[in-house]
């Protein structure tokens, strides 16, 4: 009876052991079937401050056979071997932290389901953790990214700072330049130098220019002019016709005796000009021109200082000239020749530059201009220059500074006036020959001078009126890269 009870107990123990092992294996197999979502899908929740521990046995579990045979073996307390313990008797535990990972309420694959109320899954410490997939980076091409040059080592402390900046380059870096043919070289080019394979001395690096056929220099008459003689004569006829403000009928010329440039006698005891001042005062441009008479120093070696009032007087005279029919006709002609544009500002700028720009006639003194020279007079090195306007001639003669000595020749222009060459003295300074218009309007003179200066500069400019030919001679004065009128007068 006792034997039956022992055998029964043994079978109960074996059965319990089998059941416990089966539960353990089933639990592990169930856990292995769990599938976890990607680590990026987890909802991060605050981590609990306390950690749970789980007792894990340090002893190794024995197989089923060893457990069965151990029941019939008597324990020997005097034996030196340590008794073995099973997982059901006693275990030595060590505390290991387990990590709690919050998960979302997604369905988990496998036979095991998750309770919706539970939002924390406890993972055993030995269970493999899911890891995020790592992207493989393609190694860079070594040829596309060559290694960076190594950082130069710092110089030794024993080397002076000055020696670092005075180190000379090797001679091979700067090969000697080639020498000219026939010239001895001071050094021989090193092997591999770019100057070793030089061309023979007979070869030149300058391209040869084929010889051109020689031709005789062209005369001024052969050169193509901006405007032909016929164009200029036709235009001058139109300008005289358009000069409706001619004051010629209010001007009386008393030429008196004829003289020569070498004469020393006075052939004209009376004044050359007599004017009807009451009528001339009605001409706006004449009055504007007279305002400029006291704006200039007659000596070219005295600096000119233009005040704002004088500048205003110049601008008003230019505006009045551009408003006349004769000056507009000249600007239209110059526009067709490409000298000015349709913009009226270019017309005014042209007149201001060539007539009123100050320049120096010597010793660096800014004391002359085209308008002062032509329409007034100047004293240069003790001689009288300029004085080519009849209105100014009359005013100075009336004041007693000019003594008219007679004329050398004259050209009658009918109802528009005349051209005359005279001999005079200005404050006892003789001027053997002086040419000027008589009785013409200031705008007509300014228009003719401007026209000839632009199309026949430094040359004779052929003009005519009523079939009578004459010309105007202009001289350019170049100063600071600009051309201004140096002189202009009529002749025949």
Q: Is 326 exposed, middle or buried (0-12, 13-18, 19+ CB in 10 A)?
A: buried
**Residues whose CB is less than 8 angstroms from the CB of residue 342 and which lie 6 or more positions away in sequence, other chains included:** 335
Taking a C-beta distance cutoff of 8 angstroms, is the pair 475, 488 a contact? yes
Q: Are 431 and 384 in contact (CB under 8 A)?
A: yes
The torsion of the CA quartet 234, 240, 241, 247, rounded to 10 degrees, works out to 180
Which residues belong to the active site? 373, 388, 431
DSSP string of 133-172, one letter each residue: PPPPPPPPPTTTSPPPPPPPPPPPTTS-HHHHHSPPPPGG
Secondary structure class of 318 (helix, strand, coil): helix
Residue 487 contacts by C-beta under 8 Å, 6 or more apart in sequence? Answer: 373, 374, 385, 386, 388, 473, 474, 475
Backbone angles phi and psi of 475, in degrees to 5: -125, 135
What distance in Å separates the CA atoms of residue 71 and residue 62, rounded to the nearest whole number?
13
Burial class of 62 by CB neighbour count within 10 A (0 to 12, 13 to 18, 19+):
middle
CB 98 within 8 A of CB 54: yes
Q: How far apart are the C-alpha atoms of 168 and 191, rounded to whole Å?
A: 20
Structure tokens at 483: 């051309």
Length of the chain counted residue by residue: 492
> Any idea which residue has 């308008």 for tokens?
371
């Amino acid at each position: 009876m006792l034997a039956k009870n022992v055998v029964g107990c043994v079978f109960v123990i074996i059965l319990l052991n089998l059941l416990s092992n089966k539960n353990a294996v089933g639990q592990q197999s169930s856990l292995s079937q769990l599938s976890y979502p990607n680590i990026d899908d987890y909802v991060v929740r605050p981590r609990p401050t306390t950690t749970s521990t789980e007792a894990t046995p340090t002893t190794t579990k024995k197989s089923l056979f060893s457990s069965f045979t151990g029941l019939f073996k008597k324990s020997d307390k005097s034996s030196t071997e340590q008794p073995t313990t099973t997982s059901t008797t006693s275990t030595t535990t060590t505390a290991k932290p387990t990590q709690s990972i919050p998960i979302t309420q997604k369905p988990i694959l496998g036979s095991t389901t998750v309770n919706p109320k539970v939002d924390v899954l406890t993972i055993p410490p030995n269970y493999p953790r899911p890891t995020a997939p790592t992207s493989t980076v393609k190694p860079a091409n070594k040829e596309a990214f060559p290694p960076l040059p190594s950082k130069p080592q710092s110089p030794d402390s024993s080397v002076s700072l000055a020696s670092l900046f005075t180190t000379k380059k090797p001679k091979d870096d700067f090969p000697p330049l080639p020498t000219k043919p026939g010239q001895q070289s001071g050094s021989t080019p090193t092997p591999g130098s770019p100057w070793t394979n030089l061309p023979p001395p007979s070869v030149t690096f300058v391209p040869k220019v084929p010889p051109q056929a020689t031709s005789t220099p062209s005369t001024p008459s052969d050169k193509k002019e901006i405007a032909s003689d016929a164009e200029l004569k036709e235009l001058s006829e139109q300008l005289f016709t358009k000069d409706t403000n001619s004051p010629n009928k209010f001007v009386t010329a008393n030429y008196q005796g004829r003289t020569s440039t070498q004469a020393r006698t006075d052939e004209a005891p009376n004044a050359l000009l007599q004017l009807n001042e009451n009528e001339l005062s009605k001409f706006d441009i004449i009055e504007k021109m007279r305002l400029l008479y006291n704006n200039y120093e007659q000596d070219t070696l005295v600096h000119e200082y233009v005040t704002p009032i004088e500048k205003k007087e110049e601008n008003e005279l230019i505006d009045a000239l551009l408003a006349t029919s004769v000056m507009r006709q000249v600007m239209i002609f110059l526009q067709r020749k490409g000298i000015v544009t349709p913009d009226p500002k270019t017309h005014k700028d042209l007149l201001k530059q060539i007539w009123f720009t100050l320049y120096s006639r010597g010793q660096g003194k800014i004391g002359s201009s085209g308008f002062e020279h032509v329409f007034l007079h100047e004293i240069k090195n003790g001689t009288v220059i300029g004085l080519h306007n009849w209105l100014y001639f009359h005013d100075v003669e009336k004041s007693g500074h000019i003594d008219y000595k007679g004329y050398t020749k004259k050209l009658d222009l009918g109802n528009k006036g005349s051209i005359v060459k005279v001999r005079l003295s200005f404050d006892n300074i003789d001027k053997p020959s002086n040419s000027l218009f008589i009785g013409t309007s200031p705008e007509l003179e300014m228009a003719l001078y401007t026209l000839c200066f632009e199309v026949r500069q430094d040359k004779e400019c052929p003009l005519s009126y009523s079939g009578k030919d004459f010309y105007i001679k202009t001289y350019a004065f170049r100063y600071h890269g600009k051309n201004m009128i140096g002189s202009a007068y009529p002749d025949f």
